Structure 1
Amino acid sequence: MTRLVFCRKYQQEMEGLDFAPFPGAKGQEFFDNVSKQAWQEWLQHQTTLINEKRLNVFEPEAKKFLEEQREKFFNNDASVEKAEGWKPEA
């Protein structure tokens, strides 16, 4: 049976993740409050940021940047970084 969560990004009940995306309290928070669709969209956006900005994910500064961007993404913050030349679909 599908597990439903109230997705903090979409502000509606949606299919939840199958498991916490990482260990600890933060992983549990995402498991409880983020939909599978929103998480997949974040993974795509994160990959774009890593590639576009040539981030080394092993560097603490890059990790901090991605954590900040992840929070902005799920909170629908308009200041979330976009890839250079990125244009939203019409």
Structure 2
Amino acid sequence: MANTKSAIKRIRRIATQTLVNKARKSKYRNAIKKMNLLLVEKKKDEALKFLPKLNSELMKVAKTGIIKKANASRNISRITKKISAL
């Protein structure tokens, strides 16, 4: 258990930040799932419309450090390639 006042405050801060990070990660995962669903259903037009939103979501998550930037770029690249193949 934390002994100092600053450590106690830090524990509170970490708890709130954990909730924020979980929410962001969930939002990012849901966006990926939605895109994969569009790809499976071969809805190219809808996938192309959703692509900028997905890119934005991935970059926001990468910027905040929840996933690495390379991971976000790789996901965007792979999804774009799949859309092109439709």
Answer whether TM exceeds 0.5 for this pair.
Answer: no
- TM-score, normalised on structure 1? 0.30
Task: Answer 1 or 2: higher relative contact order, Cα 8 Å, separation at least 6.
Answer: 2
- TM-score, normalised on structure 2? 0.31
Report the structure, 1 or 2, having the larger helix content: 2
Instruction: Select the structure of larger CA radius of gyration.
Output: 2
